A = this chain, B = another copy of it.
Amino acid sequence: MKNLTSYLTLNFSFSPSEMEQLLGCFALRTLKKKDYYLKEGQYCKSVGFIEKGNFIYYQIVNGEEKICDFAFENDWVTHYKSLLGNLPSEISIKALENAELYILNLDKIELLSETLPKVNAIRTTLAEQYFTKSTQRATSLTNLDAKARYQALLKEIPFIHQRVPQYYIASYLGIKPQSLSRIRAMK
C-alpha cells in the first residue's frame, strides 16, 4: 500500500489512528492485463486507487473502442456517474497492464463518512478531479487542433507512449491512428 499511503499522507491530514481506520477499509484487487475493472452495463459500486498498472476508459461506438480517459498509478478509478447515480455504466474500464488496485466499496464510503467525516475531503477531490478532466477534454477538443491536443497530452502524461499503444492515444485525441502518425512525422 506504499502509493496509497503516501498519496493519503501527502494530500490529506489524517492522524495515525484515522489513517489506520481508513486503510483498513480498502481491499487489494489484482487484475491481469486486459481484465476489466468495470464493463459497460454494470453498476459501479466502488472506487479503486491504482497502486500499480494503468487503465483505459472507453465506449464501443460503431464497433470502435473510443477512448475517453486514461488512468495510471496514484489515480482513482471509478465510473463517477454510475457510482453517484446508481446507474448502469455506459463505459468500460480495462487494464492495459497487470494491475494492483486498492478498492473502497461504496457502502464503506458511506459508513466512513459518518465515523470519519474527513473522508468527505476525498470524495470532494474525486468529484473535482473527474469534473476537471472531462471539462478539460471538451475544452481542448473545441479550442485546439489535433497537433496541439497531442502536445498538451504529452506534456500532461510524458510517458504515455511507453505505456499505451498509439492507436489508443489517437482515439483519445479524437483522430485516426494514421492522422496521429502524420502529426508525429511532421514534427
Contact = CB atoms under 8 A, between A and B. Distances in A.
Contact of A131 (B68, B130, B143): B130
A65 to B, nearest CB: 12
Nearest to A83: B128
Nearest to A123: B127
Given A127-B84, A135-B81, A141 B68 contact: no
A132 interface: yes
Nearest to A124: B84
Interface string A142-171: 110000000000000000000000000001
Contacts of A128: 80-81, 84-85
Contacts of A94: none
Nearest to A141: B141
